Amino acid sequence: MLPSYVPILILGAVAAGFAVFTLVVSQLIGRPRPNPAKSAVYECGVPAVTTAGERFPIKFYLVCMMFILFDVDAAFLYPWALMFKSAPAMGLYLLIEMGVFVLLLGAGFVYAWKVGALDW
């Protein structure tokens, strides 16, 4: 009798074999035709303006992190709205709780704005 994990090992071997087979066949059949246009650096189909080693200012990362922070915080509004709708007995408590949450979120946004974290 075969152990229960042998079919998984067989599937893994077949997948690895297929991967190796397609790489070898593409190297044998395909003809490399390099040209300057194919070798040029691009990003999203737009030619590069600067070198790849360009350093971004720290403000860029601060704005990105704040966007992620506020985006994740906004994602908490949906479960709250579901709970608010399904539990009418807790309506006032949930409303006050969300008011405090939005107040703290707004205070954090105002603080970030005042210290200049949103300025480029």
Domain range list for the chain: 6-47, 58-115
Residue 15 has pLDDT above 90, yes or no: yes
117 vs 11: which has the higher pLDDT: 11
Residue 12 has pLDDT above 80, yes or no: yes
**Quick one: pLDDT at residue 21?**
97
**Quick one: pLDDT at residue 19?**
97
Residue 103 tokens, joined: 């107040």
pLDDT band at 11 (very low <50, low <70, confident <90, very high): very high
Tens of pLDDT along 46-100? 666 776 677 777 777 888 888 888 888 778 888 888 877 787 778 788 888 888 9
| 3-class DSSP assignment, residue 35 | coil
Q: What angle do CA 49, 54, 58 make, to 5 degrees?
A: 120
Residue 114 tokens, joined: 């005042």
Residue 30 has pLDDT above 70, yes or no: yes
**Quick one: pLDDT at residue 34?**
84
Give the C-alpha separation, 67 to 64, whole Å. Answer: 5
